[in-house]
C-alpha cells in the first residue's frame, strides 16, 4: 500500500513539474475596469525575440524585452503606459482616468497583437 501511495505522489509531482516547465506554456490575463487597464503575459522564453520585434514595430521604439525593464512608454505625447518585462514575462499597466480614449484604444490594440504573436 505504501508503494502505491509513493508512486502516486511521485507521479503527481512529476506531472505538475512538467506542466509548469514546458516550452509551450502561455498564460495571458487582462483586467479592464473604469480606472485601469492591466495586461500580463507569461510565455515561453524562446518567444521573447519575436515579441520584441513586434513591439518595436508597433511602437516605433526599441525595447529590450530580454532584460529586466520597468519604464513608461509614451504613446502620443500625453498618453503613456508602464511596461515591465523580462524574458518570458510582460506586464502593461495603463491609467485610464488620466488618459484619452485614443490612448486606451492603442494600448488595447497593442495587447491584442501581443496575444496573437504569442499564440503563433
Instruction: Say what the pTM is.
Output: 0.77
Model pLDDT, residue 62:
86
Model pLDDT, residue 76:
79
d(CA 26, CA 42): 6
Place of cell 492603442: 106
Nine-digit cell string for 54: 513586434
SS (H, E, C) 13-27: HHHHHHHHCCCCCEE
Run means of pLDDT, 10 residues per run, the chain, 120 residues: 58 52 79 95 92 91 88 88 94 94 94 93
For 95, the enclosing helix (H) or strand (E) is: strand 89-95
DSSP state of 63: -
Q: Give the full edge-to-edge strand order of the sheet including 26-32.
A: 26-32, 36-43, 89-95, 80-86, 69-74
Amino acid at each position: 500500500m505504501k508503494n502505491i501511495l509513493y508512486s502516486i505522489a511521485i507521479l503527481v509531482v512529476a506531472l505538475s513539474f512538467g506542466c509548469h516547465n514546458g516550452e509551450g506554456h502561455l498564460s495571458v490575463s487582462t483586467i479592464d475596469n473604469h480606472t485601469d487597464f492591466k495586461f500580463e503575459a507569461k510565455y515561453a522564453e524562446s518567444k521573447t525575440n519575436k515579441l520584441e520585434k513586434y513591439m518595436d514595430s508597433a511602437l516605433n521604439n526599441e525595447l529590450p524585452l530580454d532584460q529586466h525593464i520597468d519604464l513608461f512608454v509614451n504613446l502620443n505625447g500625453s498618453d503613456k503606459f508602464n511596461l515591465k518585462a523580462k524574458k518570458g514575462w510582460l506586464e502593461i499597466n495603463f491609467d485610464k482616468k488620466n488618459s484619452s480614449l485614443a490612448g486606451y484604444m492603442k494600448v488595447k490594440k497593442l495587447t491584442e497583437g501581443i496575444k496573437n504573436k504569442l499564440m503563433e
